Amino acid sequence: MLRKAKPTTNGQRHKLSVDRGELYKGAPEKSLLVSGHKKRQGRGFKGHITVRHRGGGVKKRMRLIDWKRDKRDIEGRVERIEYDPMRSANIALIFYKDGEKRYMLAPNGLEVDQEVLASDSAEPIVGNAMQLKNIPVGTPIHNIETRLGKGGQLVRGAGTSALIQSKEDKFVAILLPSKEIRLINSDCIATIGQVGNQDHKNQKLGKAGRKRLMGIRPTVRGTAQHPGSHPHGGGEGRTGIGLKYSKTPWGKIAMGKKTRKKNKVTNKYIVRDRRKK
């Protein structure tokens, strides 16, 4: 649910934020925090900037998330649902019957004290994880493996879900949020339900300062730069980009150019490309 701020200042006037009143307000589980996590500020291992417009921001502590859901056939209880500064989705702290604690993505509809289970014999209800071949057709899923045992890699953002379209031999056809239909090994594991915190995409920050607190630095338009810094720069007054295609600062085509390799091994698993209508 979104919460609108009172227009007491210009920064608050159009601010829309997600109401976190139902989330746990205490500290995260200490045993599941990563020690020594360091921000890279957009720099690679050589110290050069490889991703622009990164830097600053509030210090964050990374939580260890159970992407593999390999705690098989052991029931766990949802102790609480927490905010995670590292991702758009909320996370749930699970207490298992053998005493272990783990974090998992909190799907929509997951409640405190609910039982969750990762098993091939589990029921297809929200929060349970099982092999794709055991999930009924048309069921919304998330945190989907692409390689057996590697852990979930697809559909992990807030409000996202995929649908099982059909089952063919050793593969399951899945409709991804991008509208791409992809074949995935039926032995891979996925979690039932849609990822929670759906209103994340509808937030309005209200002011530039909040963007800086998130670790994102300003982005300057190419047309506002001089010609030595960007292909769109220069010219008298407000001029167009002057090219057939918009370009990156390094002269490459910026929009519309396909970057996926034509001979990529996994191309054969894509039934329908996301760009096709």
pLDDT of residue 99: 92
Residue located via tokens 């309005």: 204
Residue 105's nearest CA partner among 115, 116, 90, 120 is 90
Q: What token pair was written down for 78? A: 């949802």
pLDDT of residue 38: 85
Residue 152's nearest CA partner among 91, 198, 105 is 105
* 2-201+266-272 CATH fold: OB fold (Dihydrolipoamide Acetyltransferase, E2P) (2.40.50)
pLDDT of residue 52: 95
Q: What is the pLDDT along the chain (277 residues), one digit of tens a residue?
A: 899 999 999 999 999 999 999 999 999 999 999 987 888 899 999 999 999 999 999 999 999 999 999 999 999 999 999 999 999 999 999 999 999 999 999 999 999 999 999 999 899 999 999 999 999 999 999 999 999 999 999 999 999 999 999 998 899 999 999 999 999 999 999 999 999 999 999 999 999 999 999 999 999 999 999 999 999 999 999 988 877 889 999 999 998 888 889 999 999 999 999 887 6
* 129-131 sheet: strands from edge to edge: 129-131, 189-192, 140-142, 162-168, 171-175, 181-185, 270-272
Cα 166 to chain centroid, rounded: 25
Any idea where the domains of the chain sit in the sequence? 2-201+266-272
Q: What token pair was written down for 220? A: 């300057």
